[in-house]
């Protein structure tokens, strides 16, 4: 049995605390047909990232929502190590990813906000592992610039969003699922930074999360069995648009959804209640809209876990 090391990060890359789970196995993707590299006995590394996920959104977390179903992550957390107080170096996505990839603080890696200078780090996690003989693969959302720079990965299958040119996920939708909308992954019409929630227009097997896992399984089946691997699967969900598969939306929309824990430092929004930008972080939702947003958010997390 090959030794495996998997790192599951339920990452909150924008404005929230992050939770980190370290375990020896995730999703059981690599538990079957992998061969042992007996000469080095170096572990395989599976790094899974989720985007904009609250650290307490785990069924295992006593402070988390009791209605949320995450049995696989709960099992990983129980059998591995659940870091209850893990924090991002920066509350914004791109600098947090730079820190993760290099082990450097924003002051050193040159980005403290969403926009940063072009990046050419001399050392990266993937690069150091590749230099040590690992086969390194990136699948999903990298969210670094320059966009197609490899940052030490041997091979990348990139989709920083569910729309745009030179997007491997979009090209997959067009080629294999014959989706010919201008933006097939965004044809639901919901904003990628908004609070509106509704079921996704695509079937589960055509969604970004499914694509990432499908590509990961393909990599595991075709990888070099004589070398250890570093596989980084980076999911967009549960980042908006808040559009889970229909079955997961209906699983939560009629449930009792408790309010999340909000820190004492957070002040109540006292701005206008109407006419706000639906893409902005300043929102004032009534009970119905808040329930819809929360149900879709939990549904996306549940879909990832399944």
Residue 178 annotated to the active site: no
- pLDDT of 15 reads 34
User: CB neighbours of 134 closer than 8 A, spacing ≥ 6?
Assistant: 42, 45, 227, 228, 229, 230
In this prediction, residues 234-253 reach a mean pLDDT of 96
- pLDDT of 134 reads 98
Contact (CB, 8 A) for 76 and 21: yes
How do residues 64-86 score in pLDDT, each as one tens digit? 898 999 999 999 989 998 888 88
User: What's the chain's average pLDDT?
Assistant: 83
Return the top range by mean pLDDT from 34-43, 52-61, 117-126, 289-298. 289-298
User: CB neighbours of 183 closer than 8 A, spacing ≥ 6?
Assistant: 162, 163, 164, 170
Question: Catalytic pick from 57, 90, 93, 292?
Answer: 93
Distance CA 174, CA 185 (A): 10
Domain boundaries, the chain: 4-88+124-305
Q: Is the pLDDT of residue 2 over 50?
A: no
The pTM assigned to this predicted structure is 0.83
Q: Is the pLDDT of residue 22 over 70?
A: no
Distance CA 141, CA 144 (A): 9
Q: Is the pLDDT of residue 242 over 50?
A: yes
Residue 143 annotated to the active site: yes
In this prediction, residues 82-103 reach a mean pLDDT of 86
Is the pLDDT higher at 8 or at 163?
163
Q: Is the pLDDT of residue 88 over 90?
A: no
In this prediction, residues 121-132 reach a mean pLDDT of 94
Q: How far is CA 247 from CA 203, 250, 255, 303, in A?
A: 10, 5, 14, 9
| CATH for the 4-88+124-305 domain, from 3.30.1330.10, 3.40.50.1980, 3.40.720.10, 3.40.1360.10 | 3.40.720.10
> How many residues belong to the chain?
306
Question: Catalytic pick from 90, 143, 200, 239?
Answer: 143
């Amino acid at each position: 049995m090959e030794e495996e090391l998997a790192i599951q990060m339920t990452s909150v890359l924008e404005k929230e605390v992050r939770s980190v789970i370290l375990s020896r196995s995730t999703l059981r993707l690599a538990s079957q047909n992998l061969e042992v590299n007996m000469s080095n006995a170096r572990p395989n590394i599976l790094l899974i990232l989720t985007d904009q996920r609250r650290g307490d959104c785990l069924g295992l977390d006593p402070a988390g929502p009791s209605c949320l179903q995450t049995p696989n992550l709960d099992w990983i957390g129980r059998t591995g190590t659940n870091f209850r107080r893990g924090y991002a170096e920066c509350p914004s996505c791109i600098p947090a990813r730079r820190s993760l990839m290099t082990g450097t603080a924003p002051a050193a890696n040159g980005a403290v906000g969403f926009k940063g200078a072009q990046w050419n780090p001399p050392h990266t996690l993937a690069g150091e592992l590749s230099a040590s003989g690992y086969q390194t693969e990136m699948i999903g959302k990298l969210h670094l610039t320059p966009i197609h720079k490899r940052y030490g990965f041997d091979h990348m299958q990139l989709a920083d969003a569910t729309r745009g040119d030179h997007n491997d996920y979009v090209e997959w939708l067009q080629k294999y699922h014959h989706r010919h909308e201008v933006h097939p992954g965004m044809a639901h019409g919901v904003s990628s930074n908004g609070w509106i929630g509704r079921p996704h227009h695509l079937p589960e097997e055509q969604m970004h999360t499914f694509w990432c896992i499908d590509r990961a399984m393909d990599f595991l089946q075709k990888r070099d069995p004589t070398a250890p691997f570093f596989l980084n699967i980076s999911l967009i969900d549960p980042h908006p648009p808040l559009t889970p598969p229909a079955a997961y939306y209906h699983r939560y929309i009629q449930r009792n959804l408790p309010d999340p824990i909000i820190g004492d430092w957070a002040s109540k929004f006292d701005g206008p209640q109407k006419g706000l930008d639906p893409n902005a972080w300043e929102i004032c939702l009534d009970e119905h809209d808040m329930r819809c947003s929360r149900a879709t958010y939990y549904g996306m997390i549940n879909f990832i876990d399944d």
